């Protein structure tokens, strides 16, 4: 597995879409992939359909072809994935405790900053 629960090919497709920054048809995504192997058009189409189902990409019809774009920035989609993990666990508080105990000093500083901002906004 690669980026946040995505498979290696899914992550490679997302990298292409993030790098380009504009909607791409399947054929163009396929042409830009640098996986070291030749992929069938239908393989890339299936990956994009799966990413659409997982809400990682949005698609719009242009002529007769779907054009795909990321549903958000890398950071936004990773944060959404983390949120979904917490929402689907029976003990999110315990998961957060384990995360906090394993967090780096930099990660803890970011968490402190956000908590301080939220506390200041409640006054």
Counting Cβ atoms within 10 Å, is residue 56 exposed (0-12), middle (13-18) or buried (19+)? buried
At how many degrees (to 10) do helices 8-20 and 41-53 cross?
A: 80
Residues 75-79 have a mean pLDDT of 92
DSSP class of residue 37 equals S
pLDDT band at 6 (very low <50, low <70, confident <90, very high): confident
Tokens encoding 23: 């909607």
**What backbone phi and psi angles, to 5 degrees, belong to 92?**
-60, -30
Cα–Cα distances (Å) from 113 to 34, 74, 94, 110, 118, in that order, read 38, 21, 21, 5, 9
Answer yes or no: is pLDDT of 38 > 80. yes
> What mean pLDDT is predicted for residues 23-50?
95
User: Which of the residue ranges 4-18, 38-52, 88-102, 109-123 would you say has the lowest mean pLDDT?
Assistant: 109-123
Is pLDDT larger for residue 5 or for residue 2?
Answer: 5
Query: pTM higher than 0.85 for the full model?
Result: no
The pLDDT assigned to 85 comes to 87
Tell me how far apart the alpha carbons of residues 67 and 28 are, in angstroms, rounded to a whole number.
9
Please give the pLDDT value at position 1.
39
In this predicted structure, what is the pLDDT of residue 3? 57
Structure confidence at residue 107 as a pLDDT band (50, 70, 90): very high
């Amino acid at each position: 597995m690669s980026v946040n629960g995505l498979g290696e090919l899914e992550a490679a497709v997302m990298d292409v879409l993030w790098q380009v920054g504009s909607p791409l048809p399947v054929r163009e995504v396929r042409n830009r992939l640098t996986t070291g192997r030749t992929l069938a058009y239908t393989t890339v189409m299936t990956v994009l359909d799966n990413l659409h189902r997982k809400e990682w990409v949005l698609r719009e019809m242009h002529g007769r072809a779907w054009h795909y774009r990321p549903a958000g920035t890398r950071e936004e989609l990773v944060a959404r994935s983390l949120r979904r993990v917490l929402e689907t666990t029976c003990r999110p508080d315990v998961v957060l405790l384990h995360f906090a105990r394993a967090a780096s000093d930099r990660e803890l500083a970011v968490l402190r900053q956000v908590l301080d901002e939220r506390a200041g906004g409640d006054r």
